Amino acid sequence: MAFISTAEACDTNVPLLASGDLRVLPPIFKIYGRSRAFSGPIATLKVFEDNVLVRELLETEGEGRVLVVDGGGSMRCALVGGNLGQLAQTMGWAGILVNGCVRDVDEINGCDIGVRALGSHPTKSSKKGVGEKHVAVHIGGTLICDGEWLYADSDGILISKCELSL
């Protein structure tokens, strides 16, 4: 997949920005992982302080997708750690966006995937298996639907209703 700069995507897709078909997430996410830039179709997940479903999805073939985890913005525990980062890399996921925290930052930074999260927290999550897969989520005031596209680089994160080309 060719790299698409988020700044260039915004400059060349003004009508999509105006219509809401291309949205910019607020600059609240920290950058983790070796892949500073990544993109792919989105698989969504809604959980709260429980990462059982995160593991379940990451155990499936990623096929270049990006897992978007709406963790409710919780800053009380981590939803993704080093083992899940390695699993995502092994299974072919392009990246993970977490509306919540990660842990094992040094391990995640050694993985060849892109990860964005609100921050890091050393506590692991609960393991109850509660949540929803492939549902619309709201992150940073932005509606994100399963099957849309995410583009991330050092400038920011874009959500698009369709695959972009420049």
Annotated binding residue 109: no
> For residue 60, is it within any domain?
yes
Mean pLDDT taken over the chain: 97
Annotated binding residue 97: no
Annotated binding residue 92: no
pLDDT of 94 above 80 = yes
What pLDDT shows up at residue 2? 61
> For residue 145, is it within any domain?
yes
| Total of domains in the chain | 1
Annotated binding residue 103: yes
CATH of the domain at 14: 3.50.30.40
Q: Residue 98: left if φ>0, alpha if ψ -120 to 50, beta else—which one?
A: beta
What confidence tier does 165 reach under pLDDT thresholds 50, 70, 90? confident
What pLDDT shows up at residue 148? 98
Annotated binding residue 84: yes
Tokens of 132: 């929803």
What pLDDT shows up at residue 3? 80
Check if the beta carbon of residue 129 is closer than 8 Å to that of residue 148: no
> For residue 166, is it within any domain?
no
Annotated binding residue 34: no
* β-strands 30-32, 142-144 pairing: unpaired
pLDDT of 8 above 90 = yes
Contacts of 49 (CB under 8 A, 6+ apart): 71, 72, 74, 76, 77, 79, 125, 126
